[in-house]
Each structure stands twice: as structure tokens, then as C-alpha cells.
């Protein structure tokens, strides 16, 4: 009698660190809640160290992305499930944080908008979806596509990177296992190995945390390279609510040491633009001159300041 053939996907998952089983946690459902929380927190401590091991690769990615975005390219994240949602989250935070155009950083999740709030069954296995999503964006060689997948084998993420690379775009594979197909398919590989999860197979946990940290680095440091900050001050913030207007006032005051009245007057003169107000106060120029200097220097505040204060 012939036995059943082993399922290849089950066999593949069995080789992945992210799918591993931690026998020391086999009784967590019987432990006191505080003990469970301590055990989970202890495991999470390994995540920053795993990210740290990949810092040279992350830095190389940032420099490559920033160079392309300076030419008008876009940063595109593509993933399924938790990985895709994290990409959408990171992309959606760039406009309010850095006053970036919403088209500059884009998050694609398998299954589209519905997949942000519920599971869209089978979407991650549909490789045609990834190509269709990227075709709609009109991908160019100045764009970057970051495929995000904890396992490093998710068909949607893998297909996105493959399609993008064939079209000449920069490609990055972000996974949480070594030797992943996703990393092999991309020009740049970032493999943050966090090991087995607290709840076996639930890669929204340590793997998700690692992915969030890396995406934070890619977008934030890229924006720093593009002149979206002044030191560590968020001077390109878009003040769209009371909290952000209050934050804008604080940022101008922190950057310049100006009084309450001086800060308020500069923000009023510039229509609430933090970067313009800082330049006005530090260089002693009016609002139109500040706007011109920033335009002339592609929005880089330090360069505009140097031009306004020669010698």
C-alpha cells in the first residue's frame, strides 16, 4: 500500500525558523497571566539585536532608495497579511510626518483595501495580483519595491519583487528567515532572524515587530537623507489638526530659541510651514525669501540657511 505523498508546503514550513516550536512554552496556557507576559517580553528582547545584525544592509538600502527618490522615484512596499498591513501603515504615516506626497511612499497589500481589516483568503497565493498592482502604479526604474514577508516565501511578495526587478526598479527582500526565496529574488536582502514565535507560527509577533522596526528605519532615514528633518526635528510636519499645530509651534521654538510671539508670527507669515518659519527666524529673512531659498535648495533647510548666511 502506497502512503500519501508529503505536502511540499508543510515540508517547506518545517524548515523555517519562524515556524519553529518552543517546547519550554508548551504550558503557557496554564501559567499565571503575569508569568506569560514576562515570558513574552523576554522573547521580544531578541528583536532589536536581530535588527542590529542587519544594519549595514539596511543602510545600503536607504542610500539606494534615497538616491532614487531624489530623482522622483517612489518607495513601494508589497506584502500579504501582517507584512502587507505594516507596509501600508508605514506608507500612510509619511505624509503627515514628513509632508511627503501620498504617492511617494505606497503600501500594497494582497487583496487590496479589504485585506487591511480582514483576511482575504487566497490573495497571498495569487501571483498575478502583485503584477497587476504594480502595473497600475506605472513602475519606473527610479522606483523601489520592498517585498515584505516573514517566511520569505509568500507568493505575492515574491512576485512583486520579481516583476519589479524585471522592469528595472530597485528591489529589496525583507524576510525573517535566512536563505529565503524573497531575498534571493531581490537586489538587496534584509533577513532579520528572530527565531520561533511565542505562539507557534503567529508571525505577527516577533517577526511583525522586526518588520515594523526595519520599515521605520527605511522610511525615516530616507526622509532624513531627503532633507525632511533639521537635526532630529520633524520640520516638514503637516499641521492638519490642533495637536500638530501645537507641535509645529514647539518645533519652531526648539529649532530657533524664539519667543512665543516670534514663533507665532513666523508660523502665521508662512501659513504654518515649520521649515519656512525656522528659516525666517534663523536667517532673518521674510516669508517669500524663505520660500524661494527652500525651493532653490530642494527643501534642504541646512543648505538654504547656508545660502542665506554666506561666510
The sign of the torsion formed by the CA atoms of 8, 175, 109, 72 equals: negative
Task: State the pLDDT at residue 5.
Answer: 60
Is the pLDDT at 179 greater than 60? The verdict is yes
Task: State the pLDDT at residue 1.
Answer: 44
Pair 77, 106: CB distance under 8 Å: yes
> Which one of 19, 24, 42, 93 is the catalytic residue?
93
**What is the pTM assigned to this prediction?**
0.89
Q: Which residues contact 160 (CB under 8 A, 6 or more apart)?
A: 78, 108, 130, 131, 133, 134, 145, 147
% of the chain surpassing 90 pLDDT: 77
Average pLDDT over every residue of 47-75: 97
Give the number of other Cβ atoms within 10 Å of residue 184's Cβ: 13
Domains with residue ranges and CATH for the chain = 47-225 (3.40.50.10490), 242-308 (1.10.8.1080)
**255-268 residue pLDDT tens:** 999 999 999 999 99
**154-165 residue pLDDT tens:** 999 999 999 999
149: which strand partners?
A: 175
Respond yes or no: is residue 24 known to be catalytic: no
Is the pLDDT at 232 greater than 50? The verdict is yes
> Which one of 124, 191, 197, 273 is the catalytic residue?
124
Select from 185, 75, 179, 88 the least CA-distant residue to 127.
185
Q: How confident is the model at residue 231 (pLDDT cuts 50, 70, 90)?
A: very high
Respond yes or no: is residue 197 known to be catalytic: no
309: DSSP letter? S
Q: Which residues of 91-109 are buried (b: 16+ CB within 10 A; e: fewer)?
A: bebbbebbbbeeebbbbbb
Average pLDDT over every residue of 232-249: 90
Task: State the pLDDT at residue 275.
Answer: 94
pLDDT averaged over every residue in the chain: 90
Dihedral of CA atoms 116, 178, 61, 139 in degrees, nearest 10, equals -50
Task: State the pLDDT at residue 204.
Answer: 86
Average pLDDT over every residue of 85-103: 94
Determine the Cα–Cα distance for residues 235 and 73; give it in Å rounded to an integer: 22
Pair 242, 117: CB distance under 8 Å: no
Amino acid at each position: 500500500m502506497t502512503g500519501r505523498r508529503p505536502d511540499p508546503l508543510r515540508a517547506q514550513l518545517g524548515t523555517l525558523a519562524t515556524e519553529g516550536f518552543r517546547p519550554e512554552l508548551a504550558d503557557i496556557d496554564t501559567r499565571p497571566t503575569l508569568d506569560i507576559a514576562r515570558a513574552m517580553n523576554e522573547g521580544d528582547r531578541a528583536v532589536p539585536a536581530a535588527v542590529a545584525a542587519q544594519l549595514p544592509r539596511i543602510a545600503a538600502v536607504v542610500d539606494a532608495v534615497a538616491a532614487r527618490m531624489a530623482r522622483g522615484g517612489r518607495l513601494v512596499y508589497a506584502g500579504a497579511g501582517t507584512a502587507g498591513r505594516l507596509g501600508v501603515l508605514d506608507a500612510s504615516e509619511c505624509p503627515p510626518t514628513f509632508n511627503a506626497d501620498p504617492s511617494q511612499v505606497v503600501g500594497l497589500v494582497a487583496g487590496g483595501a479589504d485585506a487591511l481589516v480582514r483576511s482575504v483568503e487566497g490573495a497571498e497565493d495569487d501571483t498575478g495580483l502583485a503584477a497587476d498592482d504594480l502595473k497600475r502604479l506605472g513602475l519606473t526604474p527610479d522606483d523601489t519595491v520592498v517585498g515584505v514577508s516573514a517566511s520569505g516565501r509568500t507568493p505575492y511578495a515574491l512576485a512583486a519583487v520579481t516583476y519589479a526587478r524585471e522592469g528595472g526598479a530597485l528591489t529589496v527582500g525583507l524576510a525573517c528567515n535566512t536563505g529565503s526565496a524573497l531575498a534571493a529574488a531581490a537586489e538587496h536582502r534584509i533577513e532579520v532572524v528572530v527565531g520561533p514565535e511565542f505562539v507557534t507560527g503567529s508571525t505577527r509577533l516577533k517577526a511583525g515587530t522586526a518588520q515594523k522596526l526595519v520599515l521605520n528605519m527605511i522610511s525615516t532615514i530616507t526622509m532624513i537623507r531627503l532633507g525632511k528633518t533639521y537635526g532630529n526635528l520633524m520640520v516638514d510636519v503637516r499641521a492638519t489638526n490642533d495637536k500638530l499645530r501645537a507641535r509645529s509651534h514647539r518645533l519652531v521654538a526648539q529649532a530657533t530659541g524664539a519667543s512665543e510671539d516670534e514663533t507665532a508670527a513666523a508660523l502665521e507669515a508662512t501659513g504654518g510651514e515649520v521649515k519656512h518659519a525656522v528659516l525666517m527666524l534663523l536667517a532673518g529673512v521674510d516669508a517669500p525669501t524663505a520660500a524661494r531659498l527652500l525651493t532653490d535648495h530642494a527643501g534642504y533647510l541646512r543648505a538654504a540657511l547656508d545660502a542665506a548666511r554666506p561666510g
